[in-house]
């Protein structure tokens, strides 16, 4: 991954020096294994902090919402789709951005990897398609493919959709993956089983709202759970209120979600939050043939009306 | 204080025995991680747990807690009168509290049990609880308890400290409450005197396994405004998403929000944990928000823990070095780094020393 | 919306959509009667969707 990092630095230095952008948003190395931190460089000198590896799973489109000025941003496939969505939704203008596209081979799942070992992990190193995990008295090398986050493992848009320049050669897109396997599983359950499945899924939730806040789609000035006049939803740990939050948040992402996995990655309780959004993604694909963030010129299905929109549910 | 030896058999028997006198909580592995849970019959606390994902604070101070009930029925005499819910706590024991988490209780007590205010809900739960600690024989990379007022064998906040040596456990009662707990468990075998030196060895080894620290010595002598106006807050807050993870997993964060919920003609007044990371935390009724942007909220969290608390109580920092916020922050904001910046910040030259690696 | 609610465990038949003009009074009556019958046929004791007092510790 050092090639990517070097190329990113070279491009970032150039666009900053040329005055094309005022800042370049990327990642810097974190203080614990598998945790890179979103960061920005404003001068050619500060560019050296930027890195790129398999721990850049957060979605950087989250950091450009309503920003003024010209911005450089490093974007893997999903980030670029969220940038497209941002542009469509008027959260930023395309000509404010210099997009440094990064063809992506997937990000590793720090929660899964931490859970694999009883002891603390001290270093995680990436070399080609191998990951070496080392701790006190153990070291294990595994294939990166096995360690990918669930959304990366089923991703079919690894290459950036929209970019000004690439930091590496385009990669082959994954075929023969079923992004909706877990949705299909839930669909086959009875109503009670479904209810209990989601009850169990959400039981650890502490309502920290990390899922909402890491999501580039969640940019409302005041979220509905934070409204107090009227107060739409209770603030306690009551299961109905917790479920209301997750269900409504998912609806707000309908036709907009790119399955970047940021919500799941940031959850301190390890909740599989994508179980909600994935169902809506599947419906959007089946009903409207739509996947979010693939084109700057097409309006999303939920803000357009077409005479051939499916309407079997209306009696 | 004499040291009691507990072998595996009497450990299991003792835990079952105390369950008739106490509601016993302990770390239990659920899905991928350990949490403190009320132990059922024949359920044992997992002493091999390094530490739980969430701190044990919620046992004393639940995330959502009902304080009052009320009626809005005009035909009743007690209409619109807040009635305190029954607040009697039967004895509880928390087994396997790590010394860092134990120190958090006396820290939080300064807020909930002060000469000015006594929070009856917190105090009753706290007083009903016996804290049975478990010394750490080895630390995580994110542990920095030895520079946060305690250590892997720290006793502050505990009634009993247990030390694990292979399959054996040793228990040392620290308070009268602890003595009663050991008696209730029926643990009576005194350890041989040679064990003392063995425990000293374990303690030294544990302390030397901590390779992370924070320096806070210079923060106290800086003025609030110097630190408040320091230039590094915006940069450090860039990645922050303003979620409540750091505050909710923190054993020393105590802020709450009071909410009324009415159903028909009856209702409850409850409190829920709140977080200074949320914009709503300081949102005034007028619409004004004194901490309107995210770096102001991030600054508040660290200034409270490392400066305001220090100045107000003159008793160390409001952090016990458990490292949870470092491990669980979704965007890797590291209190050790912020602490370093605050401590080394020189307002006159307006620079922080370069961060040590 | 209907799909998602049903996906999370709300029984099919609790949510209905219909397009009725203000001139179609008989259709309105028919639809409402049909909906009430269908919802009544579902387990009436099933109160899990209705929050009363919050369930907290």
pLDDT in tens, A234-279: 999 999 999 999 999 999 999 999 999 999 999 999 999 999 999 9
- Res. B147: pLDDT tops 80: yes
User: Helix (H, G, I), strand (E, B), or coil: what is residue B1?
Assistant: coil
Write out the DSSP string of B235-246.
Answer: HHHSS----SHH
Q: Does C54 touch chain A (CB under 8 A)?
A: yes
CB atoms near residue A21 (< 10 Å): 21
Higher local confidence (pLDDT), A312 or B51:
B51
User: How far apart, in whole angstroms, are the C-alpha atoms of residue B126 and residue A310?
Assistant: 59
What tokens does B247 get?
């505050």
Mean pLDDT over each residue of chain C, to the nearest integer: 85
Q: Are B54 and B61 in contact (CB under 8 A)?
A: no
ipTM for this model? 0.94
- Res. A209: pLDDT tops 60: yes
Chain B nearest CA to A306, separation (Å): 37
CB atoms near residue A304 (< 10 Å): 11
**pLDDT tens track for B108-120:** 999 999 999 999 9
- Res. C44: pLDDT tops 70: no
Find the CB nearest A240 among C8, C51, C57: C51
Q: Does A236 touch chain C (CB under 8 A)?
A: yes
At C9 the pLDDT is 86
Write out the DSSP string of B95-129.
Answer: EEE-HHHHHHHHHHHHHHB-SS-B-HHHHHHHHTE
What tokens does A234 get?
């209770």
CA B97 to chain centre: 10
Q: Are B310 and B317 in contact (CB under 8 A)?
A: yes
Q: Which of B113, B133, B101 is nearest to B252 (CA)?
A: B101
Give mean pLDDT, residues B309-319. 95
Give mean pLDDT, residues A218-227. 94
User: How far apart, in whole angstroms, are the C-alpha atoms of residue B156 and residue B133?
Assistant: 10
At B163 the pLDDT is 97
- Res. A1: pLDDT tops 70: no
At A159 the pLDDT is 98
Cβ neighbors of A75 (< 8 A, separation 6 or more) are A60, A61, A83, A99, A100, A101, A102, A160, A162, A163
Helices (H), B194-288: 195-208, 224-228, 232-237, 245-249
- Res. B357: pLDDT tops 50: no
Give mean pLDDT, residues B34-56. 95
List, in sequence order, every residue forming a beta bridge with B260; answer none if it has no partner: B269
Categorize the per-residue pLDDT at B30 as very low, low, confident or very high, splitting at 50, 70 and 90: confident
Categorize the per-residue pLDDT at C1 as very low, low, confident or very high, splitting at 50, 70 and 90: confident
Which chain A residues contact residue C7 at CB under 8 A?
A: 183, 186-187, 194, 279
- Res. B355: pLDDT tops 60: no
Mean pLDDT over each residue of chain A, to the nearest integer: 95
Chain B nearest CA to A115, separation (Å): 6
Cβ neighbors of A32 (< 8 A, separation 6 or more) are B141, B142, B326, B327, B332, B334
At B71 the pLDDT is 96
% chain B with pLDDT above 70: 97
Q: Are A223 and A235 in contact (CB under 8 A)?
A: no
% chain A with pLDDT above 90: 91
User: How far apart, in whole angstroms, are the C-alpha atoms of residue A250 and residue B229?
Assistant: 39
Give mean pLDDT, residues B222-229. 95
Q: Which chains touch B (3 or more CB pairs under 8 A)?
A: A, C
DSSP A96: G
C53, B62: Cβ pair inside 8 Å?
A: no
Burial label for B261, CB within 10 Å (0-12, 13-18, 19+), is buried
Categorize the per-residue pLDDT at C55 as very low, low, confident or very high, splitting at 50, 70 and 90: confident
Please name the residue of chain B whose CA is at the shortest distance from the CA of residue C54: B261
**pLDDT tens track for B53-108:** 999 999 999 999 999 999 999 999 999 999 999 988 899 999 999 999 999 999 99
Chain B nearest CA to A176, separation (Å): 30
Categorize the per-residue pLDDT at B328 as very low, low, confident or very high, splitting at 50, 70 and 90: very high
Give mean pLDDT, residues B291-309. 96
Q: Which of A95-109, B318-332, C1-15 has the lowest mean pLDDT?
A: C1-15
**pLDDT tens track for B153-196:** 999 999 999 999 988 999 999 999 999 999 999 999 999 989 99
The values of phi and psi at residue B170, to 5°, are -120, 140
Around B303, how many Cα atoms within 13 Å sit in the side-chain half-sphere?
A: 19
A194, C7: Cβ pair inside 8 Å?
A: yes
- Res. C46: pLDDT tops 80: no
SS3 content of chain B, % helix, strand, coil (to 5): 35, 20, 45
B270, C53: Cβ pair inside 8 Å?
A: no
Q: Which of A286, A291, A287, A292 is nearest to A306 (CA)?
A: A287
Q: Are A36 and A76 in contact (CB under 8 A)?
A: no
- Res. B124: pLDDT tops 50: yes
The sign of the torsion formed by the CA atoms of A142, A144, A145, A150 equals positive
Find the CB nearest B259 among A32, A236, A266: A236
Q: Does B47 touch chain A (CB under 8 A)?
A: no
Candidates B92, B270, B273, partner chain C, best to mutate (most C CBs within 10 A): B270
**pLDDT tens track for B245-299:** 999 999 999 999 999 999 999 999 999 999 999 999 999 989 899 999 999 999 9
User: How far apart, in whole angstroms, are the C-alpha atoms of residue B151 and residue B163?
Assistant: 13
Give mean pLDDT, residues B304-329. 96
At B297 the pLDDT is 97
At B354 the pLDDT is 58
Length of chain B in residues, anyone? 357
Q: Are A61 and A94 in contact (CB under 8 A)?
A: no
Mean pLDDT over each residue of chain B, to the nearest integer: 94
Q: Which chains touch A (3 or more CB pairs under 8 A)?
A: B, C
- Res. B350: pLDDT tops 70: no
Find the CB nearest A195 among C3, C9, C54: C9
Candidates A182, A188, A191, partner chain C, best to mutate (most C CBs within 10 A): A191
Which chain A residues contact residue B32 at CB under 8 A?
A: 111, 114-115, 270
Which chain B residues contact residue A204 at CB under 8 A?
A: 31
% chain C with pLDDT above 90: 37
User: Helix (H, G, I), strand (E, B), or coil: what is residue A185?
Assistant: helix
C54, B65: Cβ pair inside 8 Å?
A: no
C54, B62: Cβ pair inside 8 Å?
A: no
Length of chain A in residues, anyone? 315
The sign of the torsion formed by the CA atoms of B342, B345, B351, B353 equals negative
Q: Which of A169, A188, A48, A152 is nearest to A102 (CA)?
A: A169
Could you state, in order of their start, the residue ranges of all structural domains in chain A? 1-106+155-174, 178-303
User: How far apart, in whole angstroms, are the C-alpha atoms of residue B16 and residue B12?
Assistant: 6
Categorize the per-residue pLDDT at B356 as very low, low, confident or very high, splitting at 50, 70 and 90: very low
Give mean pLDDT, residues C41-55. 73
Chain A nearest CA to C3, separation (Å): 8
Q: Kind and range of the H or E element at C7?
A: helix C2-7
Number of helices (H), then strands (E), belonging to chain C: the values are 2, 0
């Amino acid at each position: 991954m050092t090639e990517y990092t070097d190329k990113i630095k070279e491009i970032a230095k150039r666009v900053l020096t040329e005055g094309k952008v005022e800042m370049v948003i990327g990642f810097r190395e974190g203080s614990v294994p598998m945790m890179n931190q979103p960061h920005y460089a404003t001068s050619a000198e500060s560019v050296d902090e930027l890195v790129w590896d398999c721990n850049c799973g957060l979605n950087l489109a989250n950091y450009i919402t309503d920003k003024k000025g010209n911005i450089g941003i490093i974007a893997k496939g999903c980030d670029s789709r969220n940038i497209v969505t941002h542009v469509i939704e008027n959260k930023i203008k395309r000509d404010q951005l210099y997009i440094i596209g990064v063809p992506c081979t997937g990000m590793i799942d720090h929660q899964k990897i931490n859970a694999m070992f009883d002891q603390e992990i001290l270093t995680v190193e990436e070399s080609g398609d191998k990951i070496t995990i080392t701790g006190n008295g153990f070291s294990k090398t595994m294939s990166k493919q096995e360690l990918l986050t669930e959304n990366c493992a089923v991703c079919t848009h690894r290459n950036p959709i929209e970019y000004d320049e690439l930091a590496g050669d385009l990669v082959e897109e994954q075929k023969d993956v079923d992004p909706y396997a877990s949705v299909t599983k839930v669909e086959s359950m009875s109503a009670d089983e479904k209810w209990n499945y989601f009850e169990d899924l959400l039981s650890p939730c502490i309502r920290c709202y990390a899922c909402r806040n890491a999501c580039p789609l969640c940019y409302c000035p005041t979220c509905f759970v934070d409204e107090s006049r009227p107060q739409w939803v209770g603030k306690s740990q009551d299961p109905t209120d917790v479920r209301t939050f997750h269900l409504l948040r998912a609806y707000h992402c309908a036709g907009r979600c790119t399955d970047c996995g940021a919500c799941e990655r940031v959850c301190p309780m390890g909740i599989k939050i994508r179980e909600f959004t994935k169902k809506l993604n599947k419906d959007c694909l089946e009903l409207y043939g739509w996947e979010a963030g693939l084109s700057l010129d097409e309006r999303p299905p939920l803000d357009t009306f077409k005479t051939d929109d499916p309407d079997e549910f209306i009696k | 204080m004499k040291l009691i030896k507990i072998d595996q058999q009497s450990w299991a028997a003792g835990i079952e025995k105390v369950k008739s006198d106490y509601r016993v909580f302990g770390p239990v592995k659920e899905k991928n991680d350990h949490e403190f849970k009320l132990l059922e019959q024949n359920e044992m606390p997992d002493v091999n747990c390094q530490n739980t994902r969430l701190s044990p604070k919620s046992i004393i101070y639940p995330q959502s807690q009902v304080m009052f009930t009320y009626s809005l029925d005009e035909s009743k005499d007690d209409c619109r009168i807040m009635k305190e819910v029954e607040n009697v706590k039967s004895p509880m024991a928390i087994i396997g509290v790590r010394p860092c988490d134990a120190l958090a209780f006396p820290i939080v007590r300064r807020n909930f049990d002060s000469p000015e205010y006594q929070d009856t809900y917190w105090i009753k739960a706290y007083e009903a609880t016996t804290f049975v600690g478990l010394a750490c024989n080895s630390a995580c990379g994110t542990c920095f308890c030895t520079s946060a007022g305690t250590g892997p064998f720290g006793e502050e906040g505990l009634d009993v400290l247990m030390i694990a040596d292979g399959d054996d456990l040793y228990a040392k009662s620290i308070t009268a409450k602890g003595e009663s707990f050991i008696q209730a468990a029926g643990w009576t075998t005194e350890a041989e005197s040679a064990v003392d030196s063995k425990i000293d060895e374990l303690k030294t080894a544990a302390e030397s396994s901590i390779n992370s620290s924070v320096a806070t010595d210079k923060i106290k002598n800086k003025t609030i405004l110097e630190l408040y106006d320091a230039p590094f807050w915006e940069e450090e807050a860039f990645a922050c998403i303003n979620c409540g993870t750091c505050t909710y997993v923190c054993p020393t964060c105590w802020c709450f929000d009071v909410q009324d919920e009415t159903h028909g003609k009856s209702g409850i007044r409850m409190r829920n944990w709140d977080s200074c990371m949320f914009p709503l935390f300081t949102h005034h009724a007028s619409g004004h928000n004194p901490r309107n942007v995210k770096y102001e909220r991030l600054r508040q969290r660290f200034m409270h823990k490392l400066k305001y608390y220090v100045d107000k109580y003159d008793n160390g920092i409001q952090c016990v070095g458990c490292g949870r916020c470092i491990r669980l922050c979704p965007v890797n904001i590291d209190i050790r780094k912020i602490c370093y910046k605050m401590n080394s910040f020189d307002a006159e030259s307006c620079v922080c020393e370069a961060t040590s690696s | 919306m209907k799909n998602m609610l049903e996906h999370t465990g709300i029984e099919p038949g609790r949510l209905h959509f219909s397009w009725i003009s203000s001139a179609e009074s008989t259709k309105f009556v028919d639809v409402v009667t049909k909906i009430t019958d269908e919802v009544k046929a579902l387990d009436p004791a099933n109160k899990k969707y209705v929050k009363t007092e919050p369930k907290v510790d």
